Amino acid sequence: MCFHSGISEEAGQLADLHCCIPMMGMVDSFNVSVAAGIIMHHAVRDRSARL
């Protein structure tokens, strides 16, 4: 797993999917809405590239 804190080990084991978002600079964490936006942006970008 790529997380160091945040969700519990139990929650990580129950998840169907794990993903990592690289953080650069002085960022320590993302709130769930920012993380969801980043993931959705990349999903749409990747899907558009395949069309």
The confidence score (pLDDT) of residue 44 equals 96
Amino acid identity at 32: V
What does the pLDDT look like over 1-51, one tens digit per residue?
565 666 788 988 999 988 888 888 888 888 889 999 999 999 999 999 888
Residue with tokens 């519990």: 8
Contacts of 29 (CB under 8 A, 6+ apart): 5, 6, 23
Q: How far apart are CA 37 and CA 33, in angstroms?
A: 6
Contacts of 5 (CB under 8 A, 6+ apart): 29
Question: Phi first, then psi: what are they for 47, rounded to 5°?
Answer: -65, -40
